[in-house]
A = this chain, B = another copy of it.
Amino acid sequence: MSTNTLSQIKAALDPKAWSEDPDELAPHVRDWRGRYQGASPLLLKPSTTDEVSRILSLCNAGGVTVIPQSGNTGLVGGSTPQGEVVLSLKRMNQIRTIDTDNDSLTCEAGAILESVQDAAKARGKLFPLSLGAQGSAMIGGLISTNAGGVHVLRYGMMRELVLGLEAVLPDGRVLSDLSGLRKDNTGYDLKQLFIGAEGTLGVVTAATLKLFARPASTAVAIAAVESPAQAVELLGHMKETTGSVAAFELMPKIGLDLAVHHLPGARHPLDSDPAWTVLIELVSPETDRAQSLMESALETAFEKGLVSDAALAQTEAQMAEFWALREGIPEAEKAHGKAAKHDVSVPVSRMPAFMEEATAKAEAMLPEALIIAFGHVGDGNVHFNVARKTPGSGDDFVASCAPVTEAIYDLVDKHGGSISAEHGVGVLKREELARRKPVEVAVMRAIKQTLDPNAIMNPRIMLGID
């Protein structure tokens, strides 16, 4: 770390664009879950793309390493500095334009997801990305981690919602493509490189995002199924008969039990207390249509024996209540104790076998294991978490799960799955990634080396091994 370069950077910027104040730095050098604590000599807060470009040029010339940061809500340690300068996008938070004829919105990387959702809504449109951290997660980070969430089934992950990007390369050159084209076959689609790159190839400074028509009606139901296999069958039925499944989330009995136990006001949606439930959301462009679609699709599902019990939300408040159960599972789980978490995916068709084998394996290896497996079964993504039956488990329990994690990842490999479906690699999974995808990682490293020859961008993250 060249202090000379740091002085140059400070001199090149408006005084508002940097800080060395430990109090201001504090929230930027740890992650929000408190799992990673780091340090940084300098917080940079550029307010323009040009400032980002000047910063990276100087860092590149001086060999100063940089960790870009937006909402700092990641789960894999990808934005906690260990000596790097922190480049925060928080001052670049403008929504620049909304083009309703083109169904697109252009904003800066520091715009908060919820403010983008609200801006779209104010113009009668929908920006569909939706996840727990939406009140603080920022667009730049959501792009750099290719965020998922609960509506991937219908609208895709962040990758599919980006029409164009503005990104600054490590040497300060700016790639800019913010006109919102839906079709452009002029060479490699460079924006794809930055989506999901976790800040290792440059800094995303702005993006043009896809908007959609707002559904005129929405219906939410919770239905009882016998098993994950039946959930997959029900998913096929709902897709086939309604064509408008916006979310399809699997919840185990233990997940609902914990949610009801720990969340104020929560109650079981079904008296039958089934082993598994799914939360289904349907949308329709027609008023009052989603509800009747849901009713008739669930009716035929009953007739086919795919569902044994179901509750259809009758009011907006009840819809929110159903969603609160699903979204409350992680918090309830946390209240129960620490757990080893696995954000994995497999092909939808392999999900039932994976769930069965992984559960059997974990329980055999660790008799005190309590499996809490829930999530976006509609797109093959399950949060397969291993908790302890007795409440109050701590870090020592999580540490004792390491061999179980390896066994679970081996089963993921066996079923052609991914050891990080939506949370990314960060520092948490980089060794696993290098071990499990050696050819891919070699190609990724070659690309990284090409675009960032001095390795200044997030060098420890994803591809870097300390």
**A positions within 8 Å CB-CB of B:** 99-104, 145-146, 148, 152, 156-157, 159-160, 169, 173-175, 178-190, 192-193, 195-197, 201, 213, 215, 232-233, 236, 239-244, 284-286, 345-350, 376, 379-381, 415-425, 429, 433, 437, 439-441, 443-444, 446-447, 449-451, 462-463
Contacts and interface: CB of A to CB of B under 8 A. Distances in A.
Contact of A146 (B146, B185, B201): B185
A303 B127 CA distance: 29
A97 to B, nearest CB: 10
A183 B422 contact: yes
26 contacts: A101-B347, A102-B350, A103-B239, A103-B348, A146-B189, A148-B185, A156-B160, A157-B183, A180-B347, A181-B346, A181-B417, A182-B345, A182-B379, A183-B421, A185-B421, A185-B424, A187-B440, A187-B444, A187-B462, A187-B463, A190-B443, A190-B444, A243-B286, A443-B451, A446-B451, A450-B450
Nearest to A442: B173
A245 to B, nearest CB: 10
B380 A181 contact: yes
Nearest to A194: B188
Nearest to A100: B236
Contacts of A447: 188, 447, 450
A410 to B, nearest CB: 15
Given A189-B195, A380-B102, A447-B188, A183 B148 contact: yes
A186 B102 contact: no
A420 B187 CA distance: 9
The 5 closest A-B pairs by CB, nearest first: A179-B416, A243-B285, A101-B349, A192-B192, A184-B418
B182 A188 contact: no
A196 B185 contact: yes
**Which of A152, A157, A196, A425 has the most B CB atoms < 10 Å from its CB?**
A196
A189 B152 CA distance: 17
Given A101-B236, A183-B157, A190 B450 contact: no
Given A100-B236, A417-B181, A242 B285 contact: yes
Contacts of A451: 443, 446
- A contact face: mostly helix, strand, loop, or mixed: loop
A357 to B, nearest CB: 16
**Which of A146, A182, A433 has the most B CB atoms < 10 Å from its CB?**
A182
A422 B381 CA distance: 32
A428 to B, nearest CB: 12
B175 A349 contact: no
Contact of A185 (B184, B236, B425): B425
Nearest to A413: B179
Given A243-B284, A347-B102, A183 B213 contact: no
A425 B429 CA distance: 38
A425 B204 CA distance: 26
A196 B183 CA distance: 11
Given A186-B440, A243-B284, 12 more contacts: A101-B236, A101-B348, A148-B183, A180-B416, A182-B348, A184-B420, A186-B429, A188-B447, A192-B193, A193-B193, A213-B239, A215-B243
A162 to B, nearest CB: 12
A345 B420 contact: no
Nearest to A159: B189
A297 to B, nearest CB: 10
B419 A186 contact: yes
Nearest to A436: B186
A422 B183 CA distance: 6
B189 A196 contact: yes
Contact of A243 (B196, B213, B421): B213
Nearest to A180: B347
A79 to B, nearest CB: 15
Contact of A145 (B179, B185, B189, B420): B185
Nearest to A437: B186
Contacts of A184: 345, 418, 420-421
Given A99-B349, A102-B349, A240-B285, A183 B152 contact: yes
A152 B210 CA distance: 14
A342 B284 CA distance: 37
